[in-house]
Amino acid sequence: MLVALWFTTKIQVDTNVIEYFKKSSPVRTSMDFVEKHLSGVNSLDISLQAAEEDAFKDPVYLKVIENLQNYIKSLNGVDATMSHVDFIKKMNKAFHRDEGRYYTIPDNKKLVTQYLLLYGASDIEKFINENYDHARIAVRISEHSSAKQEKLIENIQTYINKINFPGVNIKITGQSFKEVSAIRSIVQNQISSIELAVIVITIIMTFVAFRSLYIGFLSLVPNICPLILNFGIMGAFGIPLNTATTLISTVALGLAVDNTIHFLSEYQRKRAKNISIPQAVEDIIFSKGRALLSSSFILCIGFGVLIFASFEPIVYFGILSALIMFIDVALDMFFMPALLLLRK
Strand pairing class (168-173; 78-82): unpaired
Supply the DSSP symbol for 13.
B
CATH of domain 39-173: 3.30.70.1320
pTM of the model: 0.77
Domain with CATH 1.20.1640.10 in the chain: 2-17+188-342
8 A C-beta contact, residue 264 and residue 339: no
The yes or no reply on domain 2-17+188-342 and CATH 1.20.1640.10 is: yes
Q: Which helix (H) or strand (E) holds 47?
A: strand 42-50
Q: Please tell me whether residue 53 adopts helix, strand or coil conformation.
A: coil
Domain with CATH 3.30.70.1320 in the chain: 39-173
- For every one of its 344 residues, what pLDDT tens digit does the chain have, with 9 covering 90 and above? 899 999 988 888 888 888 788 788 888 888 888 888 888 888 999 999 998 999 999 999 999 999 999 999 999 989 999 999 999 999 999 998 889 899 999 988 999 989 888 877 788 889 999 899 999 999 999 888 888 999 999 999 999 999 878 889 999 999 999 988 888 888 788 778 878 888 888 888 888 777 888 888 788 888 788 888 888 888 898 888 877 777 777 777 777 788 888 888 888 889 889 999 899 999 989 888 888 889 889 988 998 898 888 788 888 888 888 888 888 888 888 888 888 888 76
Give how far the C-alpha of residue 5 lies from the chain's centroid of Cα atoms, to the nearest Å: 21
Give the span between the Cα atoms of 235 and 12, in whole angstroms.
8
